Structure 1
Amino acid sequence: MKRAGVLGHPIEHSLSPVLHRAAYAALGLDWHYDRHDVPEDGLSAFLESCGPEWMGLSLTMPLKQTILSMCDHVEPLAEVVGAVNTVLLQTSGRVRTVVGANTDVHGIVAAVREAGYVAPDGRRARAVVLGAGATAASTLAALGELGITDASVLVRSLARTGSLRRAAHRMGVEPTFGRLDDAPAVLADADLVISTVPGTGGDAVAEGIAARGAEMPGLLLDVVYDPRPTPLQSAWLSLGGTSAPGERMLLHQAAEQVRLMTGHPAPLGAMSDALEAELAARA
């Protein structure tokens, strides 16, 4: 039996096992995938404990940057973003190679395109990113793949944007930075908004745009998927905008992980059905 799993802290609510197990079943693979609660200071030991049966790891917070120094090779996209959410464990004889990759960028691009995003005619598209963590760095790379170079980043604290600014510099982009308090005015002019703020962090933005009452004609991707819809999505839709559900980003990034780990095209339909069933059951 080959093994893979998702690591993070906390990890008990991760939906990755649902997605990967559905993929293995559809592909007829005898693989095992589970959650593992691993804090930053336990990642090295966990990695060392993985035997030759281990094929790959999915990483969530707070491990996406911690893993960088433990990889033998980091794929160019993950290196420029500065975040690894996928680890491939490649064994040849007694030699094991740890490869770091990033599928979050793929997940964001796929979810946005699936939701029907179309670049505006006759002018450059305007995008706004909420948050400054590892997912925000992946978002800037995703915007580049979508052909969007005009981006603003809104954060709680400008003093904590150093890592994202360095990632942006590696990508050759220079987004403008502002505070989340300014979101109601800034978002009204955006063609695409991607919120990477975890948990209930987007609730204050939702209250702000609802109170302002201005039309929000753009497309919103909120990476949070619990509850469905999030308060930010609900406020956005009530003001005329369109929305890409956060679980679609989760689905597409996991599908790319399955492809990288198994070498098989991901059975997207089976994975999507399993995800929807699990979310409905949790609701």
Structure 2
Amino acid sequence: MKKRFGLIGHPLGHSLSPPIHNRIMEFAGIDGQYEMYDIPVAELPRFIPGLLNDLDGFNATIPHKTNVFPYMESLDETARLCGAVNTVYKKRGYNTDVSGFKSAGIELAGKNILILGSGGSAHMMAATALQDGAKSLEIITRSKTSLEKLLNHINSSFDAVEAKITARLLPELPKNQPDVILNATPLGMWPKAHDLPCTENLFVPGLTVFDPIYNPTPTRFVLNAKKHGGRAVGGLRMLLRQAIEAQQIWNPDIAFDVQQIENAILPELLEELYKSFSVKLLVTGFMGAGKTTIAQLLAKKMKIAFLDLDSEIEKTSGKKINQIFAERGESEFRIIETAVAESVLCHNGAAVIASGGGFPCQATNRKMIRESNTLVLHLSAPFDVLWERIEGNPSRPLASKREETEKLYNERAPIYSDFCDCEFDSSPDPEDVVDNIYSTITSLEI
């Protein structure tokens, strides 16, 4: 008989859980199906008896991770410490978020930990950090009520805590630089991928960052940590690992090769993410940085659309870029560029977009980008390398003389660097640059 599993929550919307679980079961040879059950809080008492009796197991997500507590006959230790249940089997509550979180490989012992937020994810992160021997734990959040709940839970769950625990309400900021920042807020999640959960001054070399958000992969939080010399990992591996552990709980007699399953399914999940959501990756850089070539190769590797802003301008205007400059001047070109970019950013589906060299240097364009679901990847290289590539190219109206071009480069470089979410050296071969970018943006390893 086919086994039945599912996910309860509200609202559920688009979820990767069904394809993940169905793929794991297929891989492990389990005859089963996984479905979603969108159940409002008020309706849970009516549905829960049937779920417990009819399903072979189910997952619980927001807002039911605590709502299912009264219906459990027992809790495993992890669920008790986290104060949340995300997996149910035979009326026993489990929490597989911890194993998913630990799969990120973040060292917490002896570290100064900053948790952003105080909801369910913060409960799990705080419990794990304290169990692992964190040196200190600082929590910053907007909600006084949820913060009090979190602190009360910590006090009731741990008999003795050696770590120094402090808590602050925004707009108060951390007093000390943390070693590790854990995001427990929805900031940066689709469809508001432009958000950051903290101020950029916290990003320093040597910092470790974890963001459980997997949509998009990567988040701006992850990219900006890496941009400033930190280590960072996103939530896609956690999503898969917690699903594998849930299947292990529901199917205790079956052996799961976790590494083999991860290797097979993670690339599929990335492809599914990019196929399902319209996140844009904007590739910026000075003339000669390789924006078009690298963006095209990256789009091919990611199996999503490639768009070139200059090409779209030429299609729209019916004229070459250097012709527009000659006939109408740079200021008129910038107006056209902004209008076309606005249309390109509305492209249906995910895409890698190669920008023009001057595009991000206009304040209007930077504002437009930050208000959209666009992540900015900057290609940098020493001026000598770029000049060697562009010298004598008649299609580049702003690169006729070295001295003037170098002056323009020096003016634009700090704007590029400040504005981008992550920066990549484009001096090597394009294929190597693309491999580096892809490895960074997938954010699967710390």
Same-fold status (TM-score > 0.5): yes
Structure 2 residue 157 is the aligned partner of structure 1 residue 168: no
Q: Structure 1 4/242 Cα, relative in aligned 2: closer, same or farther at 3 Å?
A: same
What are the within-5 Å matches in structure 2 for residues 15-34 of structure 1? 15-34=16-35
Structure 2: segments with no counterpart, 5+ residues: 278-446
* Matched residue SS, 2:56: strand
Write the distance in 1 (CA, Å) between the matches of 2:264 and 2:170: 38
| 2:99 maps to which of 86, 101, 106 | 106
Give the corresponding residue for 1:93: none
- Contact 1:109/1:146 (<8 A) preserved: no
Q: Structure 1 131/51 Cα, relative in aligned 2: closer, same or farther at 3 Å?
A: closer
What are the within-5 Å matches in structure 2 for residues 1-283 of structure 1? 1-50=2-51, 52-88=53-89, 90=90, 98-111=91-104, 113=105, 117-118=106-107, 124-169=110-155, 170-172=157-159, 173=161, 175-183=165-173, 189-200=177-188, 203-206=195-198, 208-209=199-200, 212=201, 215-263=204-252, 264=254, 265=256, 266=258, 267-283=261-277
Q: Structure 1 125/21 Cα, relative in aligned 2: closer, same or farther at 3 Å?
A: same
Deviations 1:212-242 (A, max 9, x none): 4862521111111222222222222222111
CA RMSD, aligned part only? Answer: 2.3
Write the distance in 1 (CA, Å) between the matches of 2:147 and 2:75: 23
Write the distance in 2 (CA, Å) between the matches of 1:60 and 1:4: 14
- Contact 2:196/2:220 (<8 A) preserved: no
- Deviation of 1:119 after TM superposition, in Å, equals 6.1
Structure 1: segments with no counterpart, 5+ residues: 91-97
Residue type of the alignment partner of 2:149: S
**Which protein is bigger by CA-based radius of gyration?**
2
* Matched residue SS, 2:65: coil
Give the corresponding residue for 2:298: none
TM-score normalised by the chain length of structure 1: 0.84
* Matched residue SS, 1:64: helix
Write the distance in 2 (CA, Å) between the matches of 1:119 and 1:145: 9
Deviations 1:162-212 (A, max 9, x none): 2211221113446210134344x55x7222111010144892545x21xx4
Write the distance in 1 (CA, Å) between the matches of 2:140 and 2:37: 32
Q: Alignment length, in residue pairs?
A: 263
Tell me which of the two structures has the higher relative contact order, counting C-alpha pairs closer than 8 angstroms and 6 or more residues apart.
Answer: 1
- Deviation of 1:53 after TM superposition, in Å, equals 4.9
TM-score normalised by the chain length of structure 2: 0.55
Q: Structure 1 69/282 Cα, relative in aligned 2: closer, same or farther at 3 Å?
A: same
Q: Structure 1 51/118 Cα, relative in aligned 2: closer, same or farther at 3 Å?
A: closer
Q: Structure 1 21/239 Cα, relative in aligned 2: closer, same or farther at 3 Å?
A: same
Give the corresponding residue for 1:94: none
Write the distance in 1 (CA, Å) between the matches of 2:202 and 2:125: 27
Write the distance in 2 (CA, Å) between the matches of 1:213 and 1:176: 17
